[in-house]
Amino acid sequence: MNTSAYTRISVIILAALALAACPGKKVKHHDDDEGGNAAAPNFYVNALTGSDTNRGTLASPFKTITHAMSLSKSGSTVQVAPGTYDVANREVFPITVPAGVLLIGDEAHKGRGSAPTSIVGGGLAPGSTPGDVSVGVLPGMGSTIAGFTITNDASAFAVRRGLMLGYSNVTLRKNTVTGATHAVGIYVDASTNHMITENRIVDNGTGSGLAFVKGGVGSKVESNDITGNGVGVEYDVAGGDLGSTGGSAGGNVLSCNTQYDLKAAAPTAIAIPAAGNFWDRSPPMQGCNAGDDICLGTATIAATAAMLASSPCVPAASPIFYVNASSVGSDAGSDANPGTQALPFKTITHALTVATSGSTVQAKPGVYDTLNNGETFPIVVPAGVLLIGDEATNGAGVAGVAGSDTTIVGGGQVPAFPAGTSAAVQPGTGSTIAGFTITNNNPALSGRYGVFLNNSTVTLRNNTVTGATHVVGVYVADDGGTPAVPSTNHVITGNRIVDNGPSSGEGLAFINGGAGSRVENNVITGNGFGVDYEIAGVDGVDGVDLGGGSALSAGRNTISCNAFMDLFVAVSGTTSATIHAANNSWNGSSANPGIPTLGCNAGDDICDGSTPSANIITAPVAAPAPLCGP
């Protein structure tokens, strides 16, 4: 043996002795961190070239996401090549992503590249019974899913969901979630603080694109396209932030969903932040008719600022007509125009002659009167038509900004009613009036009413009804026929019914109609009488619901500072009427703020002039309204 060979043997022996002397010392491998600890492994997956017997490297990828997930741990990234990851690829569903793992596909194309990166399939959802609910992907706590098209096509299950967020702090980024038979695209279970950003949540059948069913508080939802679903975003509980100062940046396109772009179905009142998004209408239309932007139920929403989607949709049979009282500018109004956004009509009167049930007439800020704008009064809104102004400000515009209000001013004889009965607006059956200041100032007719409800199922929302010479601001009547048929089942919500005949007028009067109506979230103040309630139930239907009754009014009306009394009840019958008026804000007395005072002296909250006396339910009460002057 030569000398160099002996030298090499000596070096090897010395190295071995050194390692033996340091038994705690580890050799650093490729997946070790700087401390020599085993780092979370990263893996590659390719449905076309991979094999689950491979090492999972870029050169030797796995075949299935399922196998990669079984080896991943928090901090791992699994990079998936274009391909279809389904049962035929030997995927096991639902694909469960461990906590802290990043599952990444083709983010640049949101999984829809020329060669798509698709997860297709579904398996039994946690807590479900066989054949009931299936889900495609189950992300773990703090995991990330990005760059996939995700579809659950598991026909063996009755209910199909694309993703189910049962653990918190999940990031869903730049995916396409779609499925014609989905009940829900993204189902948010009892979890919080997700980031849902830059996804396409589209064409999820008649179901919901994104549904906050049991959780989602603290989540940010921003820059997503949510279109072509039955319901765009559903809130069954307080859920994610769609746009707010200091929260979500907004930027979501909530458009072209067949039922509603946003629906709140929570059993209790919730607040939904939704500023800075794109809708089919700007401002978004609130209502619960198919094609409306927002169906709120008992929720409140902050949707300002709101922009128009680049390709807004409304039902084909339900066009939008635009109106602009201004005669200047590139979008000056003219009744010779076609009524488009670029070339609007000038008068609401003309727009309503071409609008049919389901149509929307969108009025820009301005004064809609006879003298300057040529309106004909009363403005009669056809059945089923939505007349929309500026809901964000209740038609009052921005304080201090001239011309920012959206105002209907004038009055005319109401057909089929006694001479001298005049109104500014007369809504048809099933119509909606929202976002106007409404005043009847016609001195030629002594019986001046702001809004005259003699047809049923009218929605009055986010208006300001006011008039110093009004007999009644909002008058609920019968149809004027013989025999007379009372109007019923109105929704009167979010309005300011104020300063209507402060010396003797009434803000809201149910005289010959209104049974089954829901009255909530209104400010009724500064009138002679706040609410005049003279209609009881009809044919077993409850009377007007001011809060807590069968029409599911949330209450939350502020009924205060009306000159004579805030609520006057005068129901006659053979049995005592029950009046539901819970969860409202009253003045009360200095000794008992917020607890309504009972009596028929000026300044009392509630006067019961019924025969026999009514059972007026006001408990529980909301926070006290501010005390009025002496």
Q: How far apart are the first and last CA of the chain?
A: 119
Least confident of 46-50, 466-470, 547-551, 554-558: 547-551
- DSSP-assigned letters across all residues of 99-120: TT-EEE--GGGTT-SSS-EEEE
CA 147 to chain centre: 27
Q: Which pLDDT score, from 0 to 100, does residue 572 have?
A: 83
Of 198, 172, 30, 195, nearest to 102 (Cα)?
172
**Residue 229 falls within a domain, yes or no?**
yes
Residue 285's pLDDT band (cuts 50, 70, 90): confident
Residue 312's pLDDT band (cuts 50, 70, 90): confident
Say if residue 493's pLDDT is above 90.
yes
The most distant pair of C-alpha atoms in the chain lies apart, rounded to whole Å, by 130
Secondary structure element (H or E) that encloses residue 212, with its range = strand 208-212
For residues 252 and 9, give the distance between their C-alpha atoms in angstroms, rounded to a whole number. Answer: 70
- Could you tell me which residues come within 8 angstroms of residue 19 by beta carbon, excluding any fewer than 6 positions away? 25
**Residue 299 falls within a domain, yes or no?**
yes
Q: Which pLDDT score, from 0 to 100, does residue 71 have?
A: 97
Q: Which pLDDT score, from 0 to 100, does residue 34 have?
A: 44
Q: Tokens for 14, please give them.
A: 């010395």
Least confident of 326-335, 528-537, 600-609: 528-537
Say if residue 528's pLDDT is above 50.
yes
Say if residue 18's pLDDT is above 80.
no
List, for residues 411-428, the tens digit of each pLDDT value.
999 999 999 999 999 999
Q: Which pLDDT score, from 0 to 100, does residue 591 have?
A: 87
Domain that holds residue 246: 221-314
One-letter amino acid for residue 176 of the chain: T
DSSP state of 545: B
- Could you tell me which residues come within 8 angstroms of residue 17 by beta carbon, excluding any fewer than 6 positions away? none
Average of per-residue pLDDT across 384-391? 91
Say if residue 431's pLDDT is above 80.
yes
The answer, as to whether pTM is greater than 0.85, is no
Q: How many C-beta atoms lie closer than 10 Å to residue 583's C-beta?
A: 20
Angle at 310 between CA 309 and CA 312, to 5 degrees: 60
Say if residue 326's pLDDT is above 80.
yes
**Residue 280 falls within a domain, yes or no?**
yes
Q: How many C-beta atoms lie closer than 10 Å to residue 18's C-beta?
A: 10
Asked if residue 537 lies in contact with residue 571, where contact means CB atoms within 8 angstroms, the answer is: no
**Residue 463 falls within a domain, yes or no?**
no
Q: Which pLDDT score, from 0 to 100, does residue 309 have?
A: 86
Residue 351's pLDDT band (cuts 50, 70, 90): very high
Per the DSSP assignment, residues forming a β-bridge with 226 are: 201, 254
One-letter amino acid for residue 7 of the chain: T
Average of per-residue pLDDT across 533-543? 65
Say if residue 332's pLDDT is above 70.
yes
Q: Tokens for 22, please give them.
A: 């340091």
Which position has the higher pLDDT, 30 or 433?
Answer: 433
Q: Which pLDDT score, from 0 to 100, does residue 38 have?
A: 60
List, for residues 210-252, the tens digit of each pLDDT value.
999 999 999 999 999 999 999 999 999 999 999 999 899 999 9
Average of per-residue pLDDT across 313-318? 56
Residue 26's pLDDT band (cuts 50, 70, 90): very low
Asked if residue 23 lies in contact with residue 61, where contact means CB atoms within 8 angstroms, the answer is: no
For residues 529 and 504, give the distance between their C-alpha atoms in angstroms, rounded to a whole number. Answer: 7
Q: Is 356 helix (H, G, I), strand (E, B) or coil?
A: coil
Q: Which pLDDT score, from 0 to 100, does residue 503 have?
A: 81
- DSSP-assigned letters across all residues of 327-364: -SSTT---TTS---SSS-BS-HHHHHHH--TT-EEEEP
Query: Residue 28: phi, psi to the nearest 5?
Result: -75, 125
List, for residues 191-216, the tens digit of each pLDDT value.
999 999 999 999 998 899 999 999 99
For residues 13 and 191, give the distance between their C-alpha atoms in angstroms, rounded to a whole number. Answer: 58
List, for residues 75-131, the tens digit of each pLDDT value.
999 999 999 999 999 999 999 999 999 999 999 999 999 999 999 999 999 999 999
List, for residues 147-189, the tens digit of each pLDDT value.
999 999 999 999 999 999 999 999 999 999 999 999 999 999 9
Say if residue 1's pLDDT is above 50.
no
For residues 327 and 263, give the distance between their C-alpha atoms in angstroms, rounded to a whole number. Answer: 37
| Numbers of helices and strands, H then E, in the chain | 3, 52
**Size (the chain), residues:** 630
Q: Which pLDDT score, from 0 to 100, does residue 298 have?
A: 82
One-letter amino acid for residue 535 of the chain: I
**Residue 99 falls within a domain, yes or no?**
no
Asked if residue 498 lies in contact with residue 394, where contact means CB atoms within 8 angstroms, the answer is: no
Q: Tokens for 278, please give them.
A: 């794109």
Residue 318's pLDDT band (cuts 50, 70, 90): low
> What's the chain's average pLDDT?
89
Say if residue 289's pLDDT is above 90.
no
- For the chain, the C-alpha Rg in angstroms (whole number) is 32
Residue 630's pLDDT band (cuts 50, 70, 90): low
The domain total for the chain is: 1
Q: Which pLDDT score, from 0 to 100, does residue 315 have?
A: 52
Asked if residue 527 lies in contact with residue 499, where contact means CB atoms within 8 angstroms, the answer is: yes
Asked if residue 82 lies in contact with residue 116, where contact means CB atoms within 8 angstroms, the answer is: yes
Q: Which pLDDT score, from 0 to 100, does residue 81 have?
A: 98
- Could you tell me which residues come within 8 angstroms of residue 1 by beta carbon, excluding any fewer than 6 positions away? none
Angle at 101 between CA 100 and CA 102, to 5 degrees: 120
Q: Tokens for 226, please give them.
A: 């949510």
Say if residue 133's pLDDT is above 90.
yes
Say if residue 6's pLDDT is above 50.
no
Query: Residue 607: phi, psi to the nearest 5?
Result: -115, 125
Average of per-residue pLDDT across 27-47? 65
Which position has the higher pLDDT, 2 or 190?
Answer: 190
Beta-carbon-side half-sphere exposure of residue 573 (alpha carbons within 13 Å): 17
